[in-house]
Structure 1
């Protein structure tokens, strides 16, 4: 629970790319299912993966706000703050990519080959 209270500087570095990778795999896996059933599941999943990326960014932001939230006392605050800032930027970048991929599935017809 300490990670949620004070944040984790590396959360955005992990959550953003993992959410994007899972989103991309789900997009490729579910195209055929979405074509057959005509249910827009890909944009709904994009929102779920977006929430994961944003949550990682928020944990990094919280750590940055509190001066790094180091779980290892031997690390310097400047290093922890740098990692937290990098985590926020990476999470924002991958959140944008997830939004763009989800929006593309609303525009493009999944049944066209």
Structure 2
């Protein structure tokens, strides 16, 4: 059964990108705040991978919505805006992936609570 693209699918990148960043950033910082010994590189990398996978899933849905929207024409007036929103969703996911990767690398290099 093939997944259908709805107008809300175009917004997936806009929602999943920040959600992936939230998982990585807040999960890592709150864990270190609660217990300094838990802030190990293995946890930081795991949270980074999970956050990146969530963001990539939303980017993939936005990419599919962009491809399914097709070119804008007079017969389907909503397609152009759906394609535009989906394209920006893909680009937003790329920006959030840079943030996730940067913070994951920082968590690997800066261990512990900085005491």
TM-score by length of 1: 0.81
Q: What's the RMSD between the two structures over aligned residues?
A: 2.4
Cα contact 1:9–1:59 (8 A) shared by 2: yes
Cα contact 2:14–2:89 (8 A) shared by 1: yes
Shift of 1:79: 0.5
Cα contact 1:15–1:56 (8 A) shared by 2: yes
Matches within 5 A, 1:34-45: 35-37=36-38, 39=40, 40-45=42-47
Cα contact 1:20–1:98 (8 A) shared by 2: yes
CA offsets 1:87-107 (integer angstroms, 9 cap, x no match): 001111111111111111111
CA offsets 1:13-42 (integer angstroms, 9 cap, x no match): 000012212321111111256742574211
Shift of 1:6: 3.4
CA offsets 1:19-72 (integer angstroms, 9 cap, x no match): 21232111111125674257421111110010000110010001101116xxxx
Q: Which residue matches 1:30?
A: 31
Cα distance in 2 between the residues matched to 1:20 and 1:46: 8
- Would you identify which runs of 4 or more consecutive aligned residues in structure 1 move more than 3 Å? 4-7, 32-35
Matches within 5 A, 1:74-89: 76-89=78-91
Q: Which residue matches 1:47?
A: 49
TM-score by length of 2: 0.79
Cα contact 2:39–2:112 (8 A) shared by 1: no
